[in-house]
Amino acid sequence: IKRVTTHSIQEMKNRGEKISCLTAYDFSMGGIVDSAGVEIILVGDSASNVMAGHETTLPITLDQMIYHAASVVRAVKRALVVVDLPFGSYQGNSEEALRSAIRIMKESGAHAVKLEGGHEIKESITRILSAGVPVMGHLGLTPQSIYKFGTYSVRAKEEEEAQKLLDDARLLDEIGCFAVVLEKIPATLTKTVSESISIPTIGIGAGAHADGQILVLHDLLGINKEFKPRFLRRYADLHTVMHEAIAHYVQDVRSQSFPNEKESY
């Protein structure tokens, strides 16, 4: 199989083909997501929520991100694997940012890293890029800044924040990021940004004009029952499927219908 690269992602935008992206955090899911044809698999710091049960993405550590990323990489044959630099591993110190990115690349075998923010982390991004590590940007609702925002609602609805986001997107394009995630912003702003920069925009809750889309795998599969923001489309109800399968197993063990003779040695 031909591997997806940062270059083939760019060519997709140039040809007007939409890019599909999903998160994954482990070997089993990574393999399924990859074989289904997704271009980019993000080992997101949403693992902090989805895998570890934290309320925010802030607690997950670099070591934990590397463990998730290495597990995913072992399963992936085609997709480009991008890994989130976790909170505290890159902000405000570009040398630490580079060290963190290098640890991810060396210890997980992933292909790129993602950082949240624009001009305020320019030095960190530049330093990582000059080491030959591809960088994906992330603007709009950046969950590592949740305590600054105070809410997970839509960002950049006002002119000032929208203009700042557009400036940041242009900066990320100029300094050499290969793509940028736009999270929870108005669809019209996504359109403006996508037409103003040459690199692909990957939207989540950002409307139809992004060059690609990304969702959290467990949300798409309906594994979390409670999380249902407007932007989410659920493609399965795995919560019910899994719950019923497991309840059935419990029932069979109790009634001694499992294991039967054929299932015994």
**Whole-number minimum distance, CB 244 to Na ion, in Å?**
31
Nearest-angstrom CA–CA distance, 136 and 244: 39
The item of ligand KIV, Na ion, none sharing an interface with residue 24, based on CB under 5 to 8 Å by kind, is none
Instruction: State yes or no: 153 annotated in a binding site.
Output: no
Cβ neighbours of residue 163 closer than 8 Å, sequence gap 6 or more: none
Instruction: State yes or no: 198 annotated in a binding site.
Output: no
Interface characters, 50-89, with Na ion (x: CB under 5 A): ----------------------------------x-----
Instruction: State yes or no: 116 annotated in a binding site.
Output: yes
Q: Which is nearer to ligand KIV, 137 or 253 (CB)?
A: 137
Q: Which is nearer to ligand KIV, 229 or 259 (CB)?
A: 229
Q: Which is nearer to Na ion, 44 or 222 (CB)?
A: 44
**Whole-number minimum distance, CB 44 to Na ion, in Å?**
4
Quick check: 200 binds Na ion (CB under 5 A)?
Answer: no
The residue number whose beta carbon is nearest to ligand KIV equals: 44
Which residues contribute to the site for ligand KIV (CB under 6 A)?
Answer: 23, 42, 44-46, 84, 181, 183, 204, 214, 216
**Whole-number minimum distance, CB 202 to ligand KIV, in Å?**
7
Catalytic residues: 183
- What DSSP line would sit under the chain, residue for residue? -PPP-HHHHHHHHHHT--EEEEE--SHHHHHHHHHTT-SEEEE-TTHHHHTT--SSSTT--HHHHHHHHHHHHTT-SSSEEEEEPPTTSSTT-HHHHHHHHHHHHHHH--SEEE---SGGGHHHHHHHHHTT--EEEEEES-GGGHHHH-S-SPP--SHHHHHHHHHHHHHHHHHT-SEEEEES--HHHHHHHHHH-SSPEEEESS-TTSSEEEE-HHHHTT--SS---TT------HHHHHHHHHHHHHHHHHTT-SS-STT--
Q: Which is nearer to ligand KIV, 42 or 110 (CB)?
A: 42
Q: Which is nearer to ligand KIV, 166 or 216 (CB)?
A: 216
Quick check: 45 binds Na ion (CB under 5 A)?
Answer: yes
Which residue of 19, 34, 43, 44 would you call a contact of Na ion, by CB under 5 A? 44
Nearest-angstrom CA–CA distance, 239 and 225: 7
Quick check: 183 binds Na ion (CB under 5 A)?
Answer: no
Quick check: 173 binds Na ion (CB under 5 A)?
Answer: no
Phi, psi of 209 (to 5 degrees): -85, -5
Residues placed in the known binding site for 3-methyl-2-oxobutanoate: 45-46, 84, 114
Site residues for Na ion per CB under 5 A: 44-45, 84
